[in-house]
């Protein structure tokens, strides 16, 4: 059986596609990798929030899924919008890498205690920095990881704030100055996992082959809880929401919330459910967050963005 894999063309996206390809080959499949350019790849001079939060890295790929030109699409799970368009579904989540944010720099003496300039375009990271380290200045730095590192070395910033997973997968561990605590910097929903998307009309045998060879049960439980939370808040790339689920014994525990763009207001709660129903934990968390001031923060953010 042949599986055609659609992906963006960056080195990290291709790493992810080859990772999935290798897992599928171990399961007996033949694979082909097809690269597709998205609007998020084409427009690099403005923030994701200003381009629009829905489908920035997925829309063109989904068009190819709908046409049947590819069987599955491989995405960073954190790039996936909270509600997929009709006729698409996520069928697998890979084993999760460490979910931490990191500080990456060619200067090993960099510290968050210093008056440094950090490169990041993430509204969540910027808001957390304003809340926890208000003396730090941030500048938007977009592009693939290699482009961001080049811009940093050219003087755009002193260091970059990134997800550990991407830097690690690209072999930049030696440039990681600090791995940030997930208690302080709770990550974006899905950070550290690779998600596999397909059309709902994809051949059932292909779906089963993909799930059986690539899906990690623990990661799936975590992601279902986190994405349920994100879905209730209708969060996207431009909304600084955060959530991290953990699985212990037969229970999924999720901690998450929302932070105002200026970092002044943070609403954070935790919820849990049995692992057989992780969506319930995410929905309970959303209810707690919205009912304790999160709804007001969310409304203000959407008004500012729109």
Active site residues: 79
- Chain-centroid distance of CA 80 in Å reads 7
- Phi-psi domain of 251 (left: phi exceeds 0; alpha: psi -120 through 50; beta: other): beta
d(CA 160, CA 214): 31
Order of strands, sheet of 194-199, starting from the edge strand that comes earlier in the sequence: 30-35, 2-7, 72-76, 194-199, 88-93
- Are 49 and 56 in contact, with CB atoms under 8 Å apart? no
Determine how β-strand 101-104 pairs with β-strand 159-163: antiparallel
With tokens 């808001």, the residue in question is: 127
- Chain-centroid distance of CA 257 in Å reads 16
Task: Give φ, ψ of 183 to 5 degrees.
Answer: -75, -35
Structure tokens at 197: 């998307």
d(CA 36, CA 71): 13
């Amino acid at each position: 059986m042949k599986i055609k894999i659609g992906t963006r063309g960056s080195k990290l996206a291709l790493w992810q596609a080859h990772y999935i390809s290798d897992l599928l080959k171990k399961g007996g499949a033949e694979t082909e990798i097809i690269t597709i350019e998205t609007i998020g790849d084409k427009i690099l001079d403005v923030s994701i929030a200003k381009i629009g939060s829905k489908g920035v890295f997925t829309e063109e790929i989904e068009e190819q899924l709908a046409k049947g030109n590819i069987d599955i699409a491989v995405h960073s799970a954190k790039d996936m919008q909270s509600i997929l368009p009709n006729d698409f579904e996520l069928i697998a989540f890979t084993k999760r890498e460490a979910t931490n944010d990191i500080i990456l720099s060619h200067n090993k003496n960099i510290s968050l205690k210093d008056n440094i300039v950090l490169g990041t375009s993430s509204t969540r990271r910027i808001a957390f920095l304003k809340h926890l380290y208000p003396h730090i200045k941030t500048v938007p730095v977009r592009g693939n990881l290699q482009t961001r590192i080049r811009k940093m070395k050219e003087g755009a910033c002193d260091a970059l704030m990134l997800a550990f997973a991407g830097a690690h997968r690209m072999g930049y561990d030696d440039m990681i100055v600090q791995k940030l605590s997930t208690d302080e910097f709770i990550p974006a929903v899905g950070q550290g996992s690779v998600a596999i998307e397909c059309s709902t009309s994809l051949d059932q045998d292909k779906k089963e082959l993909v799930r059986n060879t690539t899906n990690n049960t623990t990661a799936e439980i975590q992601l279902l809880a986190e994405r349920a939370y994100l879905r209730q808040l209708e969060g996207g790339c431009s909304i600084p929401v955060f959530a991290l689920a953990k699985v212990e014994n037969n229970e999924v525990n999720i901690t998450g919330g929302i932070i105002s763009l200026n970092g002044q207001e943070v609403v954070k709660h935790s919820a849990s459910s049995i692992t057989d129903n992780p969506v319930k934990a995410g929905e309970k968390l959303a209810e707690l967050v919205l009912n304790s001031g999160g709804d007001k923060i969310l409304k203000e953010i959407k008004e500012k963005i729109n």
